[in-house]
Amino acid sequence: MKKLPHIFGIVLSLGVLFTTSFSQTSTPTPKPSSSEDEEIKIDSRLVVIPVSVTDPAGNPVTNLGKRDFNVVEEGRRQEVDNVGNADTVPLEIALLFDVSGSTDAMFKFQQDTAAKFLQDVMKPIDRATIFTIGMKPNLVSGREEAAKAVDSVQSVTPTKGATAFFDTIREAADFLRMNAPQGSRRVLVVISDGEDNYSIGIQRAQFSAERQVADNRPDPEYKRLNEVIKKAQEKAKNSERSKVLKSLQDADVVHYSINPAGSSYQLNQISVFGQENMQQFSVQTGGTAFLPKFLPIDTKDTLMNSGNMKRNAATLETIFRQLANELRAQYLVQYYSDAEYPEGRFVKLNVTLANPGGNKLRARQGYYVKD
């Protein structure tokens, strides 16, 4: 009988142990808090795709939403997170004027039309930045309202100097990337022939080629100098083109261009390459490279020059009207990508309309992975 308390104590101890053990395993596993959900989303990449949608007549298509867009990244369908439209998303536009000698025949004419374009397209919440393309990039004014931006446009004068085209495009894109508010629509409008003979990368290639010929001293007259320099410049221009395109993509910028040279750009290889620059920048970012059929205004026939000027004015006004329509039809389509890609890789995108109905869509064709 004296052992009974001992046995009872053992049973009681086991009961306590059993009860304690059961209470630990039956406690529900805590669900992730909302902060953990947010961390998962932050780890994903937010991809912003500027998209413009116009009808067959070139008019803006409005009131589109998430269900109207299909986004495919590297072959994988993505879920659209948000769509902002031109009525609610501010426009950050950089207008670039080529002031070199190759584009001055119609400069005043382009200047007036561009100023009118800014007045027509900009709302109070929008901002415009003005650059000139000359021997080096020149910031005339940064992020001004319409009235001040128009004054800045009217203050620009041609210089008839060399052209640092690549450097200016890159600097304008970087300016928007660093200064335009997040979530704004970023656009470059470039009035130029796209030719470059003075960007830093081009100059370095030329100096390197000259030193190479001088050091090798193939003959006292340096007969191979022009050939070596030409090849070095072509290689450098292709390299600069790739760098500029990456700057545009990194800044989420849409590139538009108007070539004042018109159809005469085909007269030499340099002009053809210049137009190809602007065509590639526009196609890759979802913009348009306009190539108007301007008529000559510097002939010996004064009456003909006057008539051609009026026709050219009507052509340029039509282009700016189409450009304004595209900006009014512009959306920012956004989604989160959880795919893992190495930094610097170019990721291909394909954006389409769920129900095209004859409407035309322009969008960037990819992006470079950033930190």
**Per-residue pLDDT tens for 216-261?**
665 555 566 677 777 777 888 889 999 999 999 999 999 999 998 7
**Interval 306-336: pLDDT, tens:** 898 899 889 999 999 999 999 999 999 999 9
Instruction: Express as a percent the part of the chain with pLDDT over 90.
Output: 59
pLDDT at 164: 94
Q: Is 40 exposed, middle or buried (0-12, 13-18, 19+ CB in 10 A)?
A: exposed
Give the mean model confidence (pLDDT) for residues 15-22: 38
Q: Please tell me the distance from the alpha carbon of residue 53 to that of residue 305, in angstroms, as a whole number.
A: 37
Q: Please tell me the distance from the alpha carbon of residue 47 to that of residue 335, in angstroms, as a whole number.
A: 6
Give the mean model confidence (pLDDT) for residues 278-286: 96
Give the mean model confidence (pLDDT) for residues 164-191: 96
Q: Please tell me the distance from the alpha carbon of residue 289 to that of residue 279, in angstroms, as a whole number.
A: 5
From residue 257, give the alpha-carbon distance in Å to each of 9, 136, 172.
91, 19, 14
Give the mean model confidence (pLDDT) for residues 268-296: 89
Give the mean model confidence (pLDDT) for residues 7-33: 39
Q: Above 50 in pLDDT, residue 150?
A: yes
pLDDT at 145: 97
pLDDT at 346: 96
Judge whether 328 and 247 are in contact, CB under 8 Å: no
- Tell me which of 269 and 154 has the higher pLDDT: 154
pLDDT at 110: 86
pLDDT at 161: 84
Q: Above 90 in pLDDT, residue 101?
A: no
Q: Is 32 exposed, middle or buried (0-12, 13-18, 19+ CB in 10 A)?
A: exposed
Sole residue written with tokens 């300016």? 175
43 — pLDDT class (breaks 50, 70, 90):
low
From residue 98, give the alpha-carbon distance in Å to each of 132, 157, 310, 362.
6, 10, 22, 26
103 — pLDDT class (breaks 50, 70, 90):
low
pLDDT at 214: 66
Highest mean pLDDT among 124-128, 157-161, 295-299: 124-128
From residue 253, give the alpha-carbon distance in Å to each of 58, 90, 176, 211.
21, 13, 8, 38
